[in-house]
Structure 1
Amino acid sequence: MDRRMLLSGAGAAGLAALLSACGVDDGPAADPGATGSGGPVQRGGTLRAGSPPPPTAVDPVSMYDGTAIGIVQLVAEYLIWLDKDFKLVPRLAESWQSADGGRRWTFKLRPGVTFSDGTPVDGETVKASFDRLLDPAGKSAALSAFETVLSAGGVSVPAPGTVEFKLDRPFSDFPYLVSAGNYNTVILKRDYAGDFTKGGIGTGPFVLKTYNASTGATFVRNERYWDPGRPYLDGVEIKFYADDQADLLALQGGDIDTQILSRAHLATPLAGTGAITVDTVKGTGVTVLTLRTDQAPFDRKEVRQAVAYGLARPAILQSIGSNVGDLGNDHLLAPLFAAAPTDLPQRALDKAKVAELLKAAGVTELTFKLTFEPPAKDYAVTIQNQLKQVGIAVELDQRSSKDFYGGDQAKDTPWLFTQANLVGWAGRPVPSQLIIPMVKSGGTWNGSKYANPALDAAADAYDTATTDADRKTAAATVAKILHEDVPVVIAFWSGAVRAYQNRKFRGVQAHPAQYVDFGSVSKV
């Protein structure tokens, strides 16, 4: 399984807006600041944004890095957008509704939308986009998100302005899978052939004019954009910088106005200094400490719990997460998910509890090896130091990223088959996309080798719930089981930041998945 498949999406929100005639459009959004303290919109100007060069081709079908996603999101759009609170926002779809207990979903398209070259957007166009993503030969990074939910051949067009999705199983969070939360699901022309950077054509607020893999990209206003009056900018310029420090210095020096991928540990110290604002949001990205439950010493629940009680989570959030995000509680329902339980006691550092649990497991001295890739080194060292304070010895085993995700994915790749490891997961649009692959019996990316029929049943109940109450009940059961069994330790959930020059532009916002939505940005 390709490592890039881990990077799919962000966050989720409530069920109520999903199940009956969801996403009713309120019409084009009003100009920001028209009646607010910021005053009327100032049109014009070019927003300059810094970003690292994309490591692979800028192709909406296969992209998985933040720069490529940002470039595409300026040009192309989704049926549904996710705002910074992960509320579903209608874009190319006006509304959606479910039938057959969540097994069939029908989307009504926004009328009159065209691509930037004038080609109309209709049901067949949308179907072609999803058929492309669902084709295994297409190597789409979105394919894993649809696994067990939607298969090739499941999309039809009952009417020109309507698209229907027939699912493999009931899935009440399905709108998130065709939203920006599944970032490859932008709607492309029927004849798209993989040449996006050669004049990428989309329905978004900007049109790609130039692209250079070494230096950056330029965009101009899409005069055919369906939302009257937007965008307010004349254009956007993205400049590529070789490293994060160079990007940050360009922002401080005024060579750029904002960043596509602000790094919390670099950007947050700048908040409130000079003309730089750092916007922050919560998120669902997470680095997971996975414990191999089918082998000693972690085949004993008490030993896994001891590790969990040996961590000082606030200190980890501060040092590793730059205090942007939320504390984790050893389950996969991030606080940003609407169904996340709020009454489960927060696990905290407890040295006496560690000793008690190890004694109950008959373990007099606990030592284990922690495997990780270079980006997780600081986190690994922090875990090592904290657990040393409670009498648990951790041997660090750093591998190159290539080695960490290499090998046979079915039997010996380190990220799935070592005693304990740290794996970074990008935020998901729905918790099921963490629960199913990571901890469900036989999950594709179940590195802990955990299996519990009660957890499987609760996860299934969550996916098929038809009311908020049922959804929260199932989520509470999932959380309680994982919190008790601890196949994975979740110390914190990552947030996100975006830094910008506040004296020149307004409307720049952080997004939990670092997504780009500059259509509402205007000059100060």
Structure 2
Amino acid sequence: MSSQTVRIPRRQWLQGAMAALLCLSNVTAFAAPPQTDRTLKVIAPWEVAGLEPSKSGFVFARLQIAETLVEVDDRGQLVGGLARSWAASPDGLEWRFTLRPGARFHDQSPVTPEAVAASLQRALAQPGLLRNAGVRQIQAAADAVVLRLDKPFSTLPAFLSHASTLVLAPAAYAADGTVRQLIGSGPYQVSALRPPQSLQTRRFDGYDGARPAIAAVDYLAVGRAETRGMMASSGQADLVYTHDPVRYASLQQARGLKLHLQPIPRTLYLKVNAGHKLMSDLRVRQAMSLAIDRPAIAQSLLRAPQAAATQLFAPILAEWHVPTLSPLTQDLPRARALLREAGWQPGADGLLRNAQGQPFKVTLRTFSDRPELPPMASAIQAQFKAVGIDLAVSITNSGEIPAGHQDGTLELALLARNHGLVPDPLGSLIQDFGPRGGDWGAMGWHSAQVSQSIDTMSRAVDPRRRSALRGAIATVLQAELPVIPVAWSVHSMTASERLTGVSVDPLERSYRISRMGWAR
């Protein structure tokens, strides 16, 4: 590929649906394709925030445009990606990743150790997971890439499966190091791109793996859940990801459509500013947790009674889920008693005030990209009011949560955290519960025990030792509630019956388009 067009042609399918869906959405939509059109239409809520893998890499990975050194199978086990094998030195300070022979980038240049090392060096300099791995040096060897560490880190291969470490070709970068073209090595290459909404790909015939049956893909980011549901049920898209649970029944009845539901290691929880003067008292955080009716939320809003979270990690994460933990439950009398102990008394209006007359009023931020979050926020608002907490709900964009963490203005947030984006959840824990907390994790809270356990676990290789450390971490998080789990997540996707070979990735890493074909 000599050049990359960063534009969207005026295709018929982009124009035809605009009028039909104008009442439902302000985003560009696309019309039902004719039977002779062999382009796969994919809809998801996730925008393309530019070309930088640290920001949009998860979209590029799901569309199989670029690859990481390490991949993950359906059981969460690490398998070869661009690296066919890897091994650590006896002291754990050096890792050698031997590359897959024959791999090529979309500009036909070979995937060399030098190209991979340069791409990873750039990833290391960007905000992202790799910074937490203690990597000191990345070098090219004869047929491999060598990473040297400051201290042993047994989870390094799992970190190198994260989308922020996608490997791009040397020609992808401008002189200043910014990404100017998205040139990966996956089975699909970019044919047109218009951030933040649209991305088009075509099959890369130089791919060294199996040749995909799907020749072309059009991806469109659609933020409103009702629009995505309409486009699925009306046949205007072939694959649609993340549906509102209230639409499950109607989607199951839609002709020519199959609804796929898959439990995934994602938890919906309240991110608490534990440094806030109203919520720094552990008794207050415990009372907030005790006010939440998780089974009712799971049943009425998620249509999945089993999704009520009794702890942070879902049963699907068997190594991290601790059955012996005392489960999170609703107990309104106990919640009110804890609030009284913390100095809060209900006024004539039923709302809490402290001895200085200050009301217990906080604002919760959430976003509508995940359609279950706003109604869940409303339910929590009502449940908090039952114990006297005045909760305001702000529906904003997801970027306001990390921004509020950074500038200190965030009080509460309701979000969804996928602990499977790195196959070892230790990756997300390092980001979320380190000494300074994390954009999507703790705020104003730190545990020396958790930090020490995470650090020890990152070096430990003995399974029994790692199991004990996992239990210790989960126990502290359950007791101190820097985040308050509400529900475990079920991933939803609809697929046209025109397709064969459709499956849902339980780790949300890939849309698996290269495995699909046309039924007719």
Post-superposition offset of 1:170? 2.8
Describe the shift of the 1:267–1:343 C-alpha distance in structure 2 as closer, same or farther (beyond 3 A).
Answer: same
Aligned counterparts of 1:276 and 1:454: Cα–Cα separation in 2: 49
CA shift digits 1:343-373 (9 cap, x unpaired): 2232211234324434554544443413314
Distance 2:94 2:283 in 1: 43
Counterpart residue identity of residue 157, structure 2: P
**2-side partners of 1:500 and 1:310: how far apart?**
38
**TM norm structure 1:** 0.76
**1:504 corresponds to which of 499, 509, 512:** 499
**Does 2:463 correspond to 1:471?**
no
Indicate how the Cα distance of structure 1 residues 331 and 265 shifts in structure 2: closer, same or farther if over 3 A, else same.
closer
* Deviation, structure 1 residue 172: 1.9
Indicate the residue corresponding to 1:488 in structure 2: 483
Normalization by structure 2: what TM-score? 0.77
Counterpart-to-counterpart distance in 1, 2:121 and 2:383: 49
Q: Name which of 260, 266, 278 aligns with 1:279.
A: 260
Cα distance change, pair 147–114 in 1 and its aligned pair in 2 (3 A): closer
**RCO greater where, 1 or 2, for CA within 8 Å and sep 6 or more?**
1
Letter of the structure 1 residue corresponding to residue 38 of structure 2 = T
SS in 2 for 1:491: strand
1:113 — aligned with what?
103
Determine if contact 1:291/1:488 at 8 Å carries over to the other structure: yes
Per-residue deviation, 1:424: 4.5
* Aligned residue in 2 for 1:188: 168
Q: Does structure 1 residue 515 correspond to structure 2 residue 510? A: yes
Give the whole-Å Cα distance in 2 for the aligned partners of 1:132 and 1:496: 32
Deviation, structure 1 residue 466: 0.8
8 Å contact 1:55–1:65 — kept in the other structure? no
Change (3 A) 1:406 1:126: closer
Identical-residue share of aligned pairs (%)? 20
Residues 294-323 of structure 1: CA deviation (Å, up to 9, x unaligned): 455433323322221221112223445453
Q: Is the 8 A contact 1:53 1:67 kept in 2?
A: no
Q: Tell me what 1:36 maps to.
A: none
Partner of 2:212: 231
Counterpart of 1:149? 133
Q: 1:504 to 1:397 in 2, by over 3 A?
A: closer
Name the CA shift for 1:424/1:155 in 2 (closer, same or farther; >3 Å). same
> What is the CA–CA distance in structure 2 between the aligned matches of 1:339 and 1:362, rounded to whole Å?
36
Instruction: Indicate conservation of the 8 Å contact 1:341/1:472, yes or no.
Output: no
Match for residue 306 of structure 1?
287
CA contact (8 A) 1:344 1:480 kept: yes
Preserved CA contact (<8 Å) 2:134 2:153: no
Deviation at residue 396 of structure 1 after TM alignment: 0.9
In 2, Cα distance between the equivalents of 1:466 and 1:78?
23
Going from structure 1 to structure 2, the CA distance change for 1:271 and 1:319 (only over 3 Å counts) comes to same
Distance in 2 (CA, whole Å) between partners of 1:407 and 1:210 is: 30
Q: 1:318 to 1:98 in 2, by over 3 A?
A: farther
Taking a change above 3 Å as real, the CA distance of residues 186 and 214 of structure 1, as seen in their structure-2 partners, is closer
Distance 1:232 1:513 in 2: 21
C-alpha separation between the residues in 1 aligned to 2:425 and 2:398?
28
Code of the aligned partner of 2:279? F
| Counterpart code for 1:131 | Q
- Structure 2 counterpart of 1:88, from 59, 78, 93: 78
Instruction: Show the counterpart of 1:288.
Output: 269
Q: Which residue of 1 aligns with 2:112?
A: 122
Structure 1 partner of 2:43: 51
Q: How many residues are matched?
A: 461
Q: Which residue of 1 aligns with 2:430?
A: 436
* Deviation, structure 1 residue 440: 3.5
The separation in 1 between residues aligned to 2:71 and 2:399, in whole angstroms, is 36
Match of 2:149 in 1: 167
Q: Secondary structure at the match of 2:279?
A: coil
1:17 is aligned to none
**1:334 and 1:493 in contact (8 A); partners too:** no
1:333/1:161 Cα in 2 relative to 1: closer, same or farther (>3 Å)? farther
CA distance in 2: counterparts of 1:342 and 1:268, whole angstroms:
30
Whether the 8 Å contact between 1:257 and 1:500 is mirrored in structure 2 is yes
**Does the aligned pair in 1 maintain the 2:50–2:195 contact within 8 Å?**
no
Aligned counterpart, 2:364: 371
Report the Cα distance in structure 2 between the residues aligned to 1:331 and 1:53, rounded to whole angstroms.
25
Contact 2:58 2:164 in 1 (8 A): no
1:268 to 2:252 alignment: no
SS at match of 2:103: coil
Q: Which secondary structure state, in structure 2, belongs to the residue aligned with residue 130 of structure 1?
A: helix
Alignment of 1:60-459 (within 5 A): 60-64=52-56, 67=59, 70=62, 73-100=63-90, 102-135=92-125, 140=126, 143-151=127-135, 154-157=137-140, 159-179=141-161, 182-193=162-173, 200-211=182-193, 216-227=198-209, 229-239=210-220, 243-259=224-240, 261-265=241-245, 268-269=248-249, 270-271=251-252, 273-323=254-304, 326-331=307-312, 335-336=316-317, 338-358=319-339, 360-361=341-342, 363-365=344-346, 366=352, 367-375=360-368, 376-389=373-386, 391-398=387-394, 400-401=396-397, 404-405=400-401, 412-415=407-410, 418=411, 420-427=412-419, 428-429=421-422, 430-445=424-439, 447-459=442-454
Unaligned runs of 5+ in 2: 1-35, 347-351, 353-359
SS in 2 for 1:238: strand
Contact 1:330 1:486 in 2 (8 A): no
In 2, Cα distance between the equivalents of 1:333 and 1:461?
A: 23
Cα RMSD (Å)? 3.4
- 1:392 is aligned with what amino acid? G
CA deviation profile, 1:103-162 (whole Å, cap 9, x unmatched): 432212112222244322121121011012122xxxx4xx331233244x52122x3221
| Compared CA separation, residues 321 and 432, structure 1 to 2 (3 A) | farther
| Alpha-carbon distance change, 69 to 303 in structure 1, aligned in 2, over 3 angstroms | same
Per-residue deviation, 1:521: 0.9
Partner of 2:8: none
Residue number in structure 2 paired with 1:18: none
1:276–1:500 Cα contact (<8 Å) kept: yes
Q: Secondary structure at the match of 1:154?
A: strand
Structure 2 residue identity aligned to 1:145: L
Change (3 A) 1:242 1:340: closer
